[in-house]
Structure 1
Amino acid sequence: MRRTLAASLGTAVALAGLASFAPAGHAAEGGKGRRIHIVWPGHSIQKAVDRARPGDVIRLKAGAYDGGVLVRKRLTIQGDGDRTVLHPGRKDRCAKAGAAGMGICVVGRPKHLVRGVSILNLTVRGFKESGVYGMYTDRLTVERVLATRNGAYGITEFHSTRGRFVKNRAIDNSVEAGLYVGDIEDARGTVVAYNHASGNALGLLIRHARSVAVWKNHLVGNCVGAALVNDDQKGGQGEARLWMNKVWKNNRSCPQHEEVPPLGGTGILVFGGDHNGIEKNAVLGNRGTLPYSGGIVLFPSPKGQPARHNLVKRNLAKGNAPFDLVDKSGSRTNRFVDNRCRTSNPRGLC
């Protein structure tokens, strides 16, 4: 759970009729055979999940609920905005699936993915590990979720495909990433868009994953805005596209944590990845003193795999220190094209 950068960086659903007046646990018909289960504050989300049929909707009213909710079938869990808050409770059902400490965990198996789960319009706060956790999922949607003050990650998917993380806020999620996609050779176009991530170690981490689309996110005030990391597993990291993101002032200082080295002052870091596209981003004011601090920075992986065949094009990168653009990738195959910047290492990238 806590393998972030690996060793050595080194040097919405509307209710109809009388449904909204249903008592806790009541299932109202929602059309097309879908039922809507109303859960009121203080009642068990898990009981509603267990009772629901695939395709049903769990509708949470505003208020506080126990988290540790385990989902293993196609469902929609929808809250009433920030006022619907999941916090650690007395029972952690996620622990039964080997995912203790999560707010909501969607857990499948390698050849039996959990498909089509949607988690919408709620808050997950204060969990030991992650707010929302996906493992072996397909088409997991997390939208308009506030994940805050969790001990490791905010919103994650591991070994998962075709995810959709949209319009979420991942704030102050301690020692790991606000948003995470990883451990899948082909994420099959997982989308990360219109999110806000601040106060995390990393705003966005894509580690050991290929085929991820990232656009129009605000990655502000983390230790690192976005990191694309090849941790030297088979398949590496690559074929992600980052465009039109705002990556500003990621100048927090994060001390070394387990195998993760100190972090701070980096906008976008490509760490041994290949065939990534970084285009039309605003990367401003990311300032630090570490070897990998700066605006857009390319480094080899821990075992020396070069960052190669990456395209850095038409970005606005200014006010970063020590440099706006850094290519210490170990490869001459990366291209820097039409970027607006003032400083680079080596010279001539601007």
Structure 2
Amino acid sequence: MLRAMRTQVGIIGAGPAGLLLSHLLHLRGISSVVLERHSRAYVERRVRAGVLEQGTVDTLTAAGVAGRLRREGLPHRGIELRYGGAGHRIAFEELVPGRTITVYGQQEVVKDLIAARLADGGDIRFEVDDVVPHAAGTDRPYLTFGGERLDCDFIAGCDGFHGVSRPSIPAGVLTEYEREYPFAWLGILARVAPSADELIYARTDRGFALHSMRSPQVSRFYLQVAPDEDVAAWPDERIWAELKARLETVPGFELTTGEIMEKAVTPMRSFVAEPMQYGRLFLAGDAAHIVPPTGAKGLNLAVADVRVLTAALAEWYATGSREALDGYSRACLKRVWRAQHFSWWMTTLLHTFEEEDAYGRRLQLSYLDYVTSSPAAATTLAENYVGLPYD
């Protein structure tokens, strides 16, 4: 016999999407339970995205969970595109006044949200085994896990690309769009001060490289590598040598090296599932869509989804109207597909492709020249990068 309990919204996944949704619902007086298969320590140290759009920062601020973000986050008012032996700054403050980005690790956002939910008496259950959604197509959905049953009005699947939520939707309901890229990213976290004040996106014939940061003492780097690359083939010495070869391409720039704390290979994928809902099950964040990290959109799309879902659920509880709930996918996917295109565009603009011929390389460089010399083209990049305003 399963031990039964009840809440209004059952949330699968304690990543940024699930935690923020739980917090925003709490601010609207709506109860939730968050179920997470990993430990609290695991989700709080899991290194992921680190670039927050203006709208994401504004959302966290309005939700009252941005105190540490405001103190420790690193506002950036531009990025550098580096290619052909020169650096070209895309100045956000000139192209999209009043909108910028903030570098603040996803794991730090998670820590802040967990702390806020627990301080408010929120119910977050870590290390939960065998979560299964049931009866999502009815008006009585529920979740089972570890010998317990959670009855709820709605289920929010915020459990990522490999989670249980999307596969629980019956076959034939979803249309899935996917693109695999012929390369991956080798991500490096190093205990070393950043060598530049802003992010550097470097396009070279050796492959793409990204110089980023997490704090004044910790830097984040990425190297384009083969999709089946073995991280064991990349000792620290090789990593630093390759980063230098791809980043030290402009006069006067010298890469600071130091202790490497983490390294991992991340595949590059674009993915969208339509619709993002089935009955009373709603998908949010990576459970519904994946973007290559070149455009820094993954976490920010999750926040946008959660904003829409919170408003729709609040409307249903206040008025009984399903109009916003029924329009959830349509509202989210408009932004998702814009971010998909931007992420694909940034990826194809800056990476090298094995099958690319001399003609293709010249086209790529020509477009880089256009973006870095035309205010109109640079504005398109800037306004997409800092995040389009919410409707």
Alignment TM-score, normalising by the size of structure 2: 0.21
Alignment TM-score, normalising by the size of structure 1: 0.23
Q: Which has the higher contact order (CA 8 A, sep 6+)?
A: 2
